[in-house]
Amino acid sequence: MNSYIKQWLEIIENMNNDNTYKLAWGRAIIELCFETNQLDKQVTFTFQHIAKKMIKYYWNQTYFFHLDQSPNKKKIPILVQNVNLLIDLYESVQRTHVPVWFDKAETILKHEKQYRKIINDSAKTLKNDVSWRFKLANKKEYDLYYLDKNCMFISFTKQQVLSLKEYSFVLSQLINFKWAQLLEKFNHSPRIASKVKDISDNTIKRSSLTKYKNILLKSNNYQAIDFYTGKVLQENDISVDHVIPWPFMYSDDIWNLVLTSKSNNSSKSNIIPSQDVIESLKERNARLVKLINDSKYKDELLLAIENDYVDKFYLAMKI
């Protein structure tokens, strides 16, 4: 491992952050270097290039999982404020509240004047703050890149880019780990490490819940009863729903799944359930665990009941 990469490792290891700007900045640089085919004597990235990458990370983590990027909810980082503006803009243009990847949304947003303004405003934020702070650690400044704050760009030598390409996986994994550690301090959401990694890599996929339908039917003697309304569901109107919303749980657990109508499922969005709904879910789980024979799901339900998963995750979600 060369001395340049060792400097990067020291910077990442010694980060003392009150928000995630440095982590997002570092990951954006690594990703840009990995993607570039420009291997001239000097390789340059503008603050606009970097800002767009950082907004992508914050967009995906915010839109899918509602993760806070700083401990002070009254003082939201400017880039996250800008992401919220972009999400509002996208939903207004597309007339939808369904989360999408930033890469997909950008194909719509890039035609909007407000989008270009937000990218430029974000770039100016990087100029004033993280661009120069990132290189500081252990009371010294590391020579990671050439910084031109006035013209708002950073540049690398060809050898530096080649080194970052070679060690991109290791550095990205370390940044993701540090990012997850920081988010765990002011988010009560489970599986944060997976959320940070998968959402940054655009690898998240939601599985079909159809396989749970027959198991859940057992809780009402194979009658399709809407968990929320108590009404009988038609065969073509049965949907499997997460009581505690999927963006918080990031998993499909039988103790958190119920049957409802398709319209109710689509309109429910990511709202926090009421205490009455939570009590009904616990009662449903107590019935279901006595009726199913599948050892995998039975053990999962027993574990959830014995460890009060419903109450614990519900409480964590409300904090």
pTM over 0.85: no
Binned at pLDDT 50, 70 and 90, residue 113 comes out as very high
Amino acid of residue 55: I
In angstroms, rounded to a whole number, what is the distance separating the alpha carbons of residues 201 and 94?
Answer: 24
Binned at pLDDT 50, 70 and 90, residue 291 comes out as confident
Q: CA dist 28 to 46, 57, 84, 99, 184, Å?
A: 12, 9, 19, 22, 21
Q: CA dist 115 to 55, 109, 205, 224, Å?
A: 11, 6, 27, 46
Phi/psi of residue 130, nearest 5 degrees: -70, -25
Region 54-74 average pLDDT:
89
**The 42-46 sheet, strands edge to edge:** 42-46, 153-157, 146-148
Strand (E) or helix (H) holding 155: strand 153-157
Q: What is the pLDDT of residues 3-51, one digit of tens each?
A: 999 999 999 998 877 789 999 999 999 999 999 998 888 999 999 999 9
Percent of the chain's residues with pLDDT above 70: 96
Buried b / exposed e over 19-53, threshold 16 CB at 10 Å, is: bbbbbbbbbbbbbbbbebeeeeeebbbebbbbbbb
Q: Is 177 exposed, middle or buried (0-12, 13-18, 19+ CB in 10 A)?
A: middle
> Which own/partner pairs from 129-135 qualify as long-range (CB within 8 Å, at least 24 positions apart)?
129/21, 130/21, 130/22, 130/25, 131/25, 131/47, 133/22, 134/11, 134/22, 134/25, 134/26, 135/11
pLDDT at 266: 77
SS3 (DSSP) at 68:
coil
